[in-house]
Amino acid sequence: MTTTPATTAVDARTDTAADPSSSLLVRACRRSQGEGLPVWFMRQAGRSLPEYKRVRQGIAMLDSCARPDLVAEITLQPVRRYGVDAAIFYSDIMVPLKAAGVDLDIVPGRGPVVAEPVRDRAGLDRLVPREPGDLSFVTEAVGLLVAELGATPLIGFAGAPFTLASYLVEGGPSKDYARTKALMVGDPELWDDLCERLATLSAHFLRTQVDAGASAVQLFDSWAGSLSAADYTASAAPHSTRVLAAVADVPRIHFGVGTGELLGLMGEAGADVVGVDWRIPLGSASERLGPAYAVQGNLDPAVLGAPWPLVANRVREAIRSGASAPGHIFNLGHGVPPETDPDVLARVVDLVHAEGPGIRADALTP
């Protein structure tokens, strides 16, 4: 399948006089999209694209995030290839910690690894600064992107305090977050101090992107689904609320994995849009959330490897289910898997654009 239509589509979006605040994505976030349906993909800028692999060759992940020219190029790649309705700022949730001086690395095949995990008060004071570091490279990269994207909105993003804390406490990725939850319950004062500092870093990271021109933001609380509703309410939500409050002037998307029982709480933390993974239909998610929130999602990323007719049917099902929400942004239920065929994503975008409005209109007809 050719990608020429998507490539030429981006040319029409580079009118710098255009205002992304009237884009389909922003209207969907504001619950006023009508029958149109915007689409973008989490992790669209990155590992599944051959052009990404070429420009990243020999460059460490965190180093690539600190080069404005490279950040701009990688962020734009999926917009050029697919014609998606939004760009997502290419970075990593650990970047603000690295900028603030935390000794960490992104290890290929494993993820973020922290040299000295935070397990006690001394570890907190040693590792997590009270003030954010210099993010001038972020400001420069966003400026380059906004000038190039024109009417296409740029989504800024950051990691939520709970998810960032889980990496710092565990020292890296975890299957059960046992150390994290033990610290959270066993030393709530230390936990709150840790999350307050992380909230400061994440809020500054988001605010920097918005001040430079991002039109919306997404807060990733990727691992919040490991918490009960009671623990989320007491120990995670207040810190996410502080982060989201710092960027209340733009639409805010709040996303986590396995958070079906937390959707309402994640909305109440300060979101305009709640991201939904593939475990719950969008219509059911919207019923839980109520009319004050749009939804985002939620094709299972694993389905992308199935035969196209099955992928297409799942896409249509998600569109149909999402039509009952007051706003819907089509996306995956998590990030693009690295082995995904880019042509499949291109076909998904084409299907959403071609059939999405009709499917929504039919679903909304009494």
Per-residue pLDDT of the chain (366 residues; tens, 9 = 90+): 333 333 333 443 334 347 899 999 999 999 999 888 999 999 999 889 999 999 999 999 999 999 999 999 999 999 999 999 999 999 999 999 999 999 998 888 788 999 899 999 999 998 888 889 899 999 999 999 999 999 999 999 999 999 999 999 999 888 899 999 999 999 999 999 999 999 999 999 999 999 999 999 999 999 999 999 999 999 999 999 999 999 999 999 999 999 999 999 999 999 999 999 999 999 999 999 999 999 999 999 999 999 999 999 999 999 999 999 999 999 999 999 999 999 999 999 999 999 999 999 999 887
Give me the pLDDT at residue 287, please: 97
pLDDT for the residue 206: 98
Task: Say what the pTM is.
Answer: 0.93
The packing angle between helices 237-245 and 188-212, to 10°, is: 20
293 is catalytic: no
Supply the DSSP symbol for 33. -
* Complete domains list, the chain, with CATH: 4-364 (3.20.20.210)
User: Residue 51 half-sphere exposure, CB side, CA atoms within 13 Å?
Assistant: 13
179 flagged as catalytic: no
**Catalytic residue (one of 13, 43, 242, 252):** 43
**Among the options 56, 67, 119, 314, which is catalytic?**
56
92 a catalytic residue = yes
SS3 136: helix
- Cα 133 to Cα 204: distance, rounded to the nearest angstrom: 9
80 catalytic per annotation? no
* Cα 307 to Cα 352: distance, rounded to the nearest angstrom: 17
Residue linked to tokens 């499917």: 359
56 is catalytic: yes
Q: What is the pLDDT of residue 203?
A: 97
Token couple for 337: 């898997």
pLDDT on residue 158: 97
In angstroms and rounded to an integer, the radius of gyration of the C-alpha atoms of the chain is: 19
Instruction: Measure the CA–CA gap between 319 and 129, rounded to whole angstroms.
Output: 44
- Here the contacts of 10-14 (C-beta below 8 Å, separation 24 or greater) are 10/76, 10/79, 10/80, 10/83, 10/152, 13/79, 13/149, 13/150, 13/151, 13/152, 14/148, 14/149, 14/150
- Among 31, 67, 92, 231, the active-site one is 92
Please identify which of the residues 52, 90, 167, 293 carries the catalytic annotation: 167
85 CB burial (10 A radius; 0-12, 13-18, 19+): buried
What pLDDT, on the 0 to 100 scale, is given for residue 15? Answer: 42
